[in-house]
């Protein structure tokens, strides 16, 4: 900001440096816990982490909306998958989805 004086600038500068140092500390400790296999996630702080909470709410809403669309259609939505509309392929896909290794039966493939 062009009209900010040195005192105001230094106040904001110190604030951002403190936030960055805290974030680095949190990231380092989280990585240590991940490496040790003892990481447990927790709730975000409602006052201090409004940005991540807002982003999380947007992602959660998008995932829920996507799931509802899939339920309405009765099939998974894969935007990047090519969809070939021929009766033969539709019959094959329907047949394959009902096999033991099809959708909903993935647990038998877990080793």
In a domain, 65, yes or no: yes
Exposed e or buried b for every residue in 2-17, given b needs 16+ CB within 10 A?
Answer: eeeeeeeeeeeeeeee
Q: At 79, phi and psi to the nearest 5?
A: -60, -30
Residue 102 has pLDDT above 70, yes or no: no
Considering the domain boundaries, does residue 104 fall inside one?
Answer: no
Write down the mean pLDDT value for the chain.
85
Are the CB atoms for 52 and 44 separated by under 8 Å?
yes
Give the domain extent around 18.
1-42
Do 20 and 55 share a domain, yes or no? no
At 96 the pLDDT is: 81
Number of domains in the chain: 2
Q: Is position 100 within any domain?
A: no
pTM over 0.85: no
């Amino acid at each position: 900001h062009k009209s900010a004086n040195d005192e105001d600038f230094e106040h904001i500068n110190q604030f951002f440096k403190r936030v960055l140092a805290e974030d680095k500390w949190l990231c380092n400790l989280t990585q240590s816990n991940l490496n040790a296999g003892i990481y447990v996630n927790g709730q975000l702080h409602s006052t201090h982490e409004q940005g991540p909470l807002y982003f999380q709410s947007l992602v959660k809403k998008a995932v829920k909306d996507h799931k509802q669309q899939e339920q309405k259609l009765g099939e998974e939505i894969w935007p990047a998958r090519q969809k070939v509309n021929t009766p033969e392929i539709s019959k094959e896909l329907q047949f394959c989805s009902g096999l033991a290794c099809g959708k909903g039966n993935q647990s038998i493939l877990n080793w």
